[in-house]
Chains A and B, each alone.
Chain A
């Protein structure tokens, strides 16, 4: 167990001294979210009062140095419980508003939140994004109830999203996590999670806070760590996910690098866990599911294909070092293909991701170059998905994602066969696979 304390400000230390302990902690990382954070705080306050009255609850806002009064809004936002038919008006919601230390990013904010959870010895934690507009008080129940009452350790979100919303999730994070670890967590990088105080402490003890985990990699890292550490995982249906529309497409390359970099780094750490896994299983889903109206998403397919073609022209030497000859040949056949015929098949995409993971493992390129060189390929696959799903409903598009996931699972053998392993681990994996085959009907 680590005894290293994460540095907190004197003011935060004083607040912790005053609060002493709590049952529930809700963390909100923020950076210049003045337009949305008030709504998030009201939803959290109402949710805790409605569903967890009698519990000692703390709201922690870890802010990255906002210049738009975000912390002030968090401190002063009040929620009127009367119109919400909430009888509990007595329970106090303690608020801790603190800056965080370390690399600027969501992960570093979470680290401070985990540290406060550890100091307060909380039983259950939830974290929610500060720019989410669709949060309701019910999210608190859905994220915390499975932890406090159902014996789960980790609650991942389950949203209704537009078919073109969350394309890194749909084309990489979900299929790869599902194929590797065998659990069908639909939104592994959703951003809104529930977890136990013990799991928060487990996260704190990991030495990952100088890596991509400190930034956008935090979400996939939390989910994967939970699965790999043997935590009991479930999902909660939260309805729609509508964010503040300021997610910058210009930062795509960095986002992709951080998420995929964290995924690949986790593959190194947890190889003994994922190598023997041969299939996937459903993860329990709580909450009443309903259809929601999602915001339309405009997509410029032509531009994405142009970037892919530019990559095909200028990056073949780099791709040749990270992809197999077969994958490269298939990609070359897409050169100057008319837009209507442009497709990256699922099997090729799975092979590209597995080849990239192997190249990352073998360190054949600087990691930053390898991960950023995936951007044109990812845009090509996204364009291909958009072209395939034009005119389809969200449910039908979901079927395409399901097919992609099955392809990842089917082709996992390709990755396992090429991943360097010791003789002992090969025997363990062989035995696990034989057992899995015997148990199949």
Chain B
């Protein structure tokens, strides 16, 4: 009776204990790797940032216009700080993946492997996102200035439309890289973009036909109705 009781009740507990004891070194190894990785990431990130500051990367970027380009794109951080942060997050991702591998559990190993193979897509998507953000800021600013100089009162709306159009395109491309709902993204983007173009065409055709006429007159005849009575020579 006792033997059966021990076998039925304590058997699974013993087996679980043995499994836990068997995996414990791996868990400890994972935690150590994770902590060391996080520490290394923090240390390397700061070290790299300091080192780049000492060797004058920010001054160099200032001189060759990279800092100004970042500022123009709305990024106010120094290039040294940005590279330091990138180094930090790269080490965090690698150490997390390595520490999960230390568990030596097949599904987790597979997940870690998948995560590693996913990193290039993640990086590509991030690059697309950043470039899209910078380009959208640059182009919308150019459109805003051009619209004001052309005397178009909804200049801000035109610029905002341009900015969101480019950012939408960049997000759609980034999602496609990440493999997230590829068809939905493409179809969604197509519908949204098509809708915007149709709305703009209708708005210009119905609500702004005078504006369109004025624009065409200026383009084709070299002047607008508002300029007919002006022959100011600037040079």
Contact = CB atoms under 8 A, between A and B. Distances in A.
A247 interface: yes
Interface in A353-390: 362-366, 368-369, 372-373, 375-376, 382
Contacts of B151: 303, 306-307, 310
Contacts of B235: 166, 168-169, 189, 191, 216, 219, 247, 255, 259
Contacts of A407: none
Given A300-B226, A318-B141, A310 B155 contact: yes
A169 B222 CA distance: 23
A149 B131 CA distance: 61
Contacts of B68: 362-365
A219 B234 CA distance: 14
- Which of B68, B72, B149, B235 neighbours the largest number of chain A CB atoms within 10 Å of its CB? B235
Interface string B61-97: 0000100100110000000000000000000000000
Interface string A248-280: 111011011001000000000000000000000
B4 interface: no
B212 interface: no
Counting contact residues on chain A (CB < 8 A from B), the size range is 35 or more
B145 A372 contact: yes
Contacts of B218: 250
23 contacts: A165-B232, A191-B235, A243-B233, A247-B233, A256-B234, A259-B235, A298-B232, A300-B229, A303-B151, A310-B151, A310-B155, A314-B144, A314-B148, A314-B156, A363-B68, A369-B141, A369-B145, A372-B145, A372-B146, A373-B145, A375-B148, A375-B149, A376-B148
Interface of B: 65, 68, 71-72, 138, 141-142, 144-149, 151, 153, 155-156, 218, 222-224, 226-227, 229-235
In order of increasing CB-CB distance, the 6 nearest A-B pairs are A300-B230, A168-B234, A363-B68, A253-B149, A314-B155, A375-B149
Given A166-B233, A300-B227, 15 more contacts: A164-B232, A166-B235, A167-B234, A169-B235, A216-B235, A248-B223, A249-B232, A297-B233, A299-B230, A303-B151, A310-B151, A368-B142, A369-B141, A375-B148, A382-B232
